[in-house]
Structures are given as C-alpha cells and as structure tokens.
Structure 1
Amino acid sequence: MSDLRKEVRLRTFLKGRIVFNGGNASMDCLVRDLSTAGARLALSETAALPDGFDLEIPAKDRVYKATLRWRRSDGVGVAFVDDRMPAQPAAPAETSVTALLQRIHDLEAENATLRRLVAEAEAAMLERTA
C-alpha cells in the first residue's frame, strides 16, 4: 500500500471528526498517519462511513474534503480532495470561548490518559528487566 502513495505520511495521534450527510451525522476518529494528500484513520466502526466526507482535525484547525480509498475492520485510508480547504468560519465569540474551553478540557483528559499509558509501559519494562 505504501508504494502507491505519492507522499510520505507522518505518524500522528490526533483527534478527528468525520462529518457527513450534510453535517447531520458525524463520528469521532483518530488520525494515525497524515500527509498533504491523505490520511489513515482509526475507527471503531467503518460500515456506516460514506465514500465522501469532511474530516475535521481540531489540533490543526483544519477541515479537509476527503474520499475513501480503502477500508479495513479497524480503519480507513482517505485521500484529500482539496488540501487547501479553509477552516470553517469562526463562530461568535461566546461560542468560540466555550468551544475553546471544551477543547482544553478534552486535551487535558487526553494528556492524562497518555501519561498514564506511558507510566504503565515504563512499569512493565522495569518488571521485565528486574
């Protein structure tokens, strides 16, 4: 699969949201690889995913138009239709502050989870060497 790509994908661990059906449906995903031409997304379920959708990546403040290139039980590969699509218009200031506070809360929770996983991995490594 990698020899078919035009660009190298960088490994990532970014929260994403797939938006489809005119914005009426969405699902969370994890962006595992990313390039300017496409991405690999980890999903809990791929059956309900349409062939075309918007991919929001809040950490990059970007929205990509994406098309489905391949599908597996644990994820999908997508190609970006227009990698220069601007982010969605800014919401009113009150909503932006609320959204920003929620994003900070979500990122703090994600950081705490990652710290815990690193600590568990370190403890497991120490047990193996002891």
Structure 2
Amino acid sequence: MSEEANHREREHRQRVLKGATIITSIHNSEIPCVIRNQHTNGAELKVAADAIIPERFSLYVPVDGVAYESVMRWRRNDRVGVQFTGTGPKPRFHYG
C-alpha cells in the first residue's frame, strides 16, 4: 500500500472506545478486548499482550448489537488489526 493510501485509510478510521469480546470457535471461549478505532471494513483492537488470538473469529460488540466475522491482519504486542468479512446477530451463548 502506498504511503498516500495508508494515510487516507487512517484518516477515515473513527476513534472509538467500545468494549467487545472475541469469540473463538474453540469451545466458544471469550477474550475481552477494546475497540480503539473502527472503519467500515475493520478495526484496531486492544487485547491482553499474552492473549492467544486465532486467525478467524467473531467480534461481538454489545453497543452495536452485532457480531463481526473477523480475520486478524496484523498484531503488535497488545494491538490487533482485523478485517471484517461479514456480520451476524448476537451469539446466543454470550451472556453480555
């Protein structure tokens, strides 16, 4: 990606502070996280530095009432960049 395209992408990210949960397919385990910024196609998450994040997962955002199907694109310590590939309803097994 060119520097100009990267700059444009960063400008369009909306800075947010939303609580969210990474829901993995392994025994439906949940990993708490915070969305730091979000745009139409993805988001930047803050997670525990030692959290094991799978390549693909559902990101449930209670304030949106949506589970975003997500693919991890990058990780730096406690920051994770994800791309959204679709959406779904609140997972029925999630108690939040």
Structure 1 length-normalised TM: 0.60
Which structure exhibits the higher relative contact order, with contacts defined as CA atoms closer than 8 Å and separated by 6 or more residues? 2
Counterpart residue number, 2:88 = 86
Shift of 1:54: 0.3
The structure where strand makes up a greater share of residues is 2
In 2, Cα distance between the equivalents of 1:89 and 1:74?
25
Deviating above 4 A after TM superposition, structure 1's stretches of 4 or more consecutive aligned residues are none
* Equivalent pairs, count: 91
Change in Cα spacing, 1:52 to 1:88, as seen in structure 2 (3 Å) is: same
Shift of 1:88: 2.8
**Is 2:28 aligned against 1:24?**
yes
Counterpart residue number, 1:127 = none
Counterpart residue number, 1:126 = none
Structure ID, larger Rg: 1
**Is 2:75 aligned against 1:75?**
no
Change in Cα spacing, 1:65 to 1:46, as seen in structure 2 (3 Å) is: farther
> Does structure 2 retain, via aligned residues, the 8 Å contact 1:46–1:72?
no
Shift of 1:44: 1.2
Shift of 1:75: 1.1
Identity over the aligned pairs, expressed in percent? 30
Map residues 1-130 of structure 1 onto 2, 5 A cutoff: 3=6, 5=9, 8-22=12-26, 24-45=28-49, 47-82=51-86, 85-88=87-90
Segments of 5+ residues of structure 2 without an aligned counterpart are none
The structure where helix makes up a greater share of residues is 1
Segments of 5+ residues of structure 1 without an aligned counterpart are 92-98, 104-130
Shift of 1:49: 0.6
Change in Cα spacing, 1:35 to 1:24, as seen in structure 2 (3 Å) is: same
Q: Which amino acid aligns with 1:12?
A: V
